[in-house]
Amino acid sequence: MNRKIEKIIKNALKEDIGKKDITTDSIFKDNFFVSAELICKSGGVLCGIEIFKKVFLSLSPDFSFDFNFKDGDFIKKNVIVGKIKGPIKELLMGERTALNFLQHLSGIATETRKITSKTKIKIYDTRKTIPNLRDLEKYAVKVGGGENHRYGLYDMVLIKDNHIKGIMEKEKIDKISAIKLAIKRVKKYLKGKFKIEIEVKSYKEALVALNEGVDIIMFDNAKVSDIKKFCEFKNRKNCEIEVSGNINIRKLDKIKDLKIDRISVGYITHSAKAVDFSLKIKSLIDGY
């Protein structure tokens, strides 16, 4: 586990525990060992089990785990995922943070699995992630069968509508001219070091972008008829077609038969429903 993830866990524990767990410290004088069961209460795709473990191990090296499932497995409702053994004080201090990571990441993996199972077209995530949790959330997308779009503003060019609008206002030119100018400026500045993707709204805009030599054309909230028309034309060109714009499983039916290469979906990270887990202490462990 890399240092970035370890820092996320450390900060999450600090946020929850603060100086100390005043409830646990008030009730327990002795720090005895217990066993507990991790239960999946609502069913879904498991994701984040190593993060779950690391939370507890960050508090004490004396924890041990016996899990029946791994990331990517679908777990039915009310199934025991596995068992954990360790000191009760650290168990109670880490419980909520560990469960929060597990239920959030499992929720993303579950939503991703639902939509990827409906199409053979590759499903990509977006940058619509919780600040500081992007690495974890994008990992969950992969566990659910999806693909990762760019990680940030630094690893791929994506010319968006507001970039174009900014050029239009500054240069006092129309949108088509602004699209051409934006692509020319990016190519001159980056000299082929990064892929170039551009967001378009229509067939006409896509055709202009194609002729300017971009790598990916993203139809954002565009008419299906425009996308279909471009797909039929585009087959002779070396350029990927992406579709985005409030895509969900219901809207997927309208585009899943088009000859597109990828679909970007924001809700799998920003609106995924958490999978419900609980951690229940079962017994005292003798000999500790």
DSSP assignment string, 77-90: TTEEEEEEEEEHHH
Question: Does residue 184 carry a catalytic annotation?
Answer: no
**Residue 264: partners with Cβ closer than 8 Å, 6 or more residues away:** 123, 124, 125, 126, 149, 218, 242, 243, 244, 247
Beta strands in 125-284 (DSSP E): 157-159, 196-200, 216-220, 240-244, 262-264, 277-284
Q: What is the DSSP letter of 60?
A: -
* pLDDT tens string 39-62: 999 999 999 999 999 999 999 999
Give residue 274's pLDDT band: very low, low, confident or very high (50, 70, 90).
very high
What average pLDDT does the segment 71-85 reach? 97
What average pLDDT does the segment 14-41 reach? 96
Q: Mean pLDDT for the chain?
A: 95
Give residue 288's pLDDT band: very low, low, confident or very high (50, 70, 90).
low
Which of 1 and 173 is assigned the larger pLDDT?
Answer: 173
Exactly one of 83, 114, 122, 128 is catalytic; name it: 128
Which of 56 and 192 is assigned the larger pLDDT?
Answer: 56
pLDDT for the residue numbered 131:
95
234 pLDDT more than 90: no
**CATH 3.90.1170.20 occupies which residues in the chain?**
3-114+273-284
105 pLDDT more than 70: yes
**CATH 3.20.20.70 occupies which residues in the chain?**
119-270
* Range of lowest pLDDT (69-73, 85-89, 231-235): 231-235
**245 and 201 Cβ atoms separated by less than 8 Å:** no
* pLDDT tens string 124-153: 999 999 999 999 999 999 999 999 999 999
**Which residue reads 């020319």 in tokens?**
184
Give residue 272's pLDDT band: very low, low, confident or very high (50, 70, 90).
very high
Cα–Cα–Cα angle for 124, 98, 140, rounded to 5 degrees: 10
The alpha carbon of 22 is separated from its chain's Cα centroid by a whole number of angstroms, namely 34
145: phi > 0 → left, psi -120 to 50 → alpha, else beta; which? left
CATH topology for 3-114+273-284? Answer: Aldehyde Oxidoreductase; domain 3 (3.90.1170)
Domain 119-270 indexed as CATH 3.40.50.300: no
* pLDDT tens string 161-170: 999 999 999 9
What average pLDDT does the segment 151-160 reach? 97
pLDDT for the residue numbered 235:
64
Cβ-in-10-Å burial (0-12, 13-18, 19+) of 148 comes to middle
How far apart are the C-alpha atoms of 175 and 220, rounded to whole Å? 15
Question: To the nearest whole percent, how much of the chain has pLDDT over 90?
Answer: 92
Type of residue found at 269: T
What average pLDDT does the segment 248-271 reach? 93
What average pLDDT does the segment 101-126 reach? 97
286 pLDDT more than 90: no
Type of residue found at 234: K
